[in-house]
């Protein structure tokens, strides 16, 4: 067992709400007061500049206050004796599709199933035609451990057909399941994740529950080896280049984790408060069995522009669930997953997300009923995206060139202040493998995350929308792109 695996095998996390919520409210109130003062000053300007900018600020901060109000309403449901009795009799089945996964990450995830406070009733692993290894040693170990704990299990190897078909193979061999839990092959569950994920199903109307995803490798890869294989140190230009690349990957991993966690605890928390989560987490989500069984045919045969859709499986399952009832997030159900450490890997992943998001938006517009909050939340997201794009172009291009009115420093500082305020929710997540000062360093990088969102992610978003007809997966075709042995714990 490697040192990294020994450290990550006890990964756990929980939210500390009180101080973070208080600080977030204070800072956001300060931002609102600042915006109000700025709007008042603009309203007193005699030319048309004041009225133009006043409308912009009022629109943006109205949306901000609505979002802030909603995500502060979210509360993870607690386990009561009555709920515990209801959930005890449910057959919970975990579906694990595997394709060219790093054996270290796969074993880490399987070990986490064995240490759950509420054990799964069955686990079904489907090797979707991996070309990098056959996992023989790992498979033998898993069968012995699952049998020892009384967990029903199967391990199938099937021809490569994609993640959806791998999940379907798991569904077919678990006809008695009441709840299907979908995880990725690099998912490592916190010790109480499964128990917490099931609690919202105590309400009969709830159809799907999303967990919270943290990056296992949130501080990037380990320090690179600076010695030659034959002995002796590398030449100093090579050492410097390696160290610079390593520091860049560390910074990128931190910013990615900050962006991912904050978006879940802000955007998706607001949706959950209305029972209208639009996209569940791929690394950890749960569905009532009928949601998947009744829609298995359309799930496996989805097409877009005449092409089979291989991506956006989580959002499709969430859409099926949303058509039946509430979809929520349980922020106390935490999963750790391997995130990209290289820009090229992240770019391919994000483009896949954006292409899938575009296709799913069309389906939501077509199939979601008007009386469901999820329909209007979906429209609100489009409105926010278009308005944000227009405002950014107006402030940075139209105002300076057409009206000779460049944005002030104070105006440019407001988004960063808001970002830091929302990012305080990131600080509220306490991890067993990281000290608070390390997370504070990541939180201070929020301006980089905002700039990334304004530039790189915005371009990738629009490019993904324009190329949404490319419905293939796009990653891990040549083996695992992140390995546990090379990632920091």
Which has the closest alpha carbon to 313: 264, 353, 361? Answer: 353
Q: 240-266 burial, b for 16+ CB within 10 Å, e for fewer?
A: eeeeeebeebbebbbbbbbbbbbebbb
Hey, what domains does the chain have and what are their CATH numbers? 1-224+235-484 (3.90.550.10)
- Does the pLDDT at position 229 exceed 70? no
- Note the pLDDT of residue 50: 55
Cβ atoms within 10 A of the Cβ of 435, count? 10
Smallest CA-to-CA distance from 38 within 403, 407, 401 is with 407
pLDDT tens, residue by residue, 437-465: 999 999 999 999 999 998 899 999 999 99
Calculate the average pLDDT of the chain.
Answer: 87
Return the number of other C-beta atoms located less than 10 Å from residue 21's C-beta. 16
Confidence of residue 418 (pLDDT cuts 50, 70, 90): confident
Query: Which tens digit of pLDDT belongs to each residue from 151-185?
Result: 999 999 999 999 999 999 999 999 999 999 999 99
Choice among 193-202, 372-381, 404-413 with the minimum mean pLDDT: 404-413
> Is residue 9 pLDDT above 80, yes or no?
no
Residue 329 forms beta bridges with which residues? 210
pTM assigned to the model: 0.90
pLDDT above 60 for 373: yes
How many C-beta neighbours within 10 Å does residue 403 have?
Answer: 13
For a pLDDT cut of 70, what percent of the chain falls above it? 86
More confident residue, 73 or 259: 259
Q: What is the DSSP letter of 264?
A: I
| Distance from C-alpha of 298 to C-alpha of 382, rounded to nearest angstrom | 26
The pLDDT of residue 487: 42
Over 50: is that where the pLDDT of 1 sits? no
pLDDT, greater one: 459 or 398:
459
Confidence (pLDDT) at 52: 60
Cα 365 to Cα 11, 313, 375, distances in angstroms: 39, 18, 7
pLDDT value for 70: 86
pLDDT tens digits, one per residue of 203-226: 999 999 999 999 999 998 887 777
Contact 429, 13 (CB under 8 A): yes
In Å, the largest CA–CA distance within the chain is: 79
> Is the per-residue pLDDT at 38 higher than 70?
no
Report, as an integer, the average pLDDT of 271-299.
Answer: 96
Q: Is the pLDDT of residue 19 over 60?
A: no
Question: What distance in Å separates the CA atoms of residue 426 and residue 218, rounded to the nearest whole number?
Answer: 12
51, pLDDT greater than 70:
no
3-state secondary structure of 112: helix
- pLDDT at res. 476: 65
* 44 pLDDT above the threshold of 70: no
The pLDDT, as a whole number, for residue 98 is 96
Q: Is the pLDDT of residue 27 over 70?
A: no
């Amino acid at each position: 067992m490697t040192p990294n695996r020994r450290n990550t095998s006890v990964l756990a996390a929980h939210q500390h709400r009180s101080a973070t919520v208080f600080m977030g409210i204070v800072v956001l109130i300060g931002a609102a007061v600042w915006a109000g003062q700025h709007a008042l000053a603009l309203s007193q300007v005699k030319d048309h500049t004041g009225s133009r900018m006043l409308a912009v600020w009022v629109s943006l901060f109205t949306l901000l206050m609505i979002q802030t109000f909603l995500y502060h309403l979210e509360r993870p449901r607690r386990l009561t004796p009555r709920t515990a009795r209801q959930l005890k009799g449910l057959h919970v089945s975990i579906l694990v599709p595997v394709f060219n996964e790093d054996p270290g990450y796969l074993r880490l995830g399987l070990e986490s199933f064995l240490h759950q406070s509420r054990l799964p009733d069955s686990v079904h692993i489907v090797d979707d035609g991996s070309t990098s290894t056959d996992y023989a040693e790992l498979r033998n170990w898993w069968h012995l451990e699952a049998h020892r704990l009384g967990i029903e299990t199967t391990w199938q190897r099937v021809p490569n057909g994609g993640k959806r078909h791998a999940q379907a193979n798991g569904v077919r061999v678990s006809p008695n399941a009441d709840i299907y839990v979908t995880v990725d092959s690099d998912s490592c569950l916190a010790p109480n994740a499964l128990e917490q994920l099931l609690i919202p199903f105590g309400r009969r109307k709830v159809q799907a529950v999303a967990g919270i995803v943290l990056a296992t490798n949130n501080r990037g890869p380990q320090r690179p080896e600076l010695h030659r294989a034959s002995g002796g140190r590398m030449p100093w230009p090579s050492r410097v280049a390696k160290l610079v690349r390593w520091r860049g990957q560390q910074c990128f991993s931190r910013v990615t984790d900050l962006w991912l966690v904050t978006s879940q605890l802000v955007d998706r928390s607001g949706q959950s408060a209305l029972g209208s989560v639009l996209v569940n987490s791929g690394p950890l989500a749960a569905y009532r069995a009928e949601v998947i069984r009744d829609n298995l045919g359309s799930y496996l045969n989805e097409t877009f522009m005449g092409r089979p859709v291989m991506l956006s499986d989580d959002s499709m399952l969430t859409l099926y669930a949303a058509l039946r009832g509430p979809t929520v997030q349980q922020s106390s159900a935490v999963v750790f997953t391997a995130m990209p450490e290289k820009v090229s890997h992240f770019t391919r992943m994000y483009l896949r997300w954006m292409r899938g998001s575009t296709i799913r938006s069309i389906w939501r517009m077509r199939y979601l009923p008007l009386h469901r909050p999820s329909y209007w939340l979906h429209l609100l997201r489009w409105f926010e995206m278009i308005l944000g794009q227009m405002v950014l172009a107006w402030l940075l291009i139209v105002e300076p060139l057409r009206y000779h009115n460049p944005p002030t420093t104070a105006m440019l500082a407001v988004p960063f202040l808001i970002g830091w305020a929302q990012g305080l929710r990131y600080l509220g997540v306490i991890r067993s493998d990281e000290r608070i000062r390390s997370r504070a360093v990541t939180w201070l990088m929020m301006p980089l995350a905002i700039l990334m969102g304004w530039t790189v992610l915005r371009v990738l978003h629009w490019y993904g929308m324009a190329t949404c007809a490319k419905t293939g997966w796009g990653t891990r075709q040549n083996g695992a792109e992140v390995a546990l042995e090379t990632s920091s714990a």
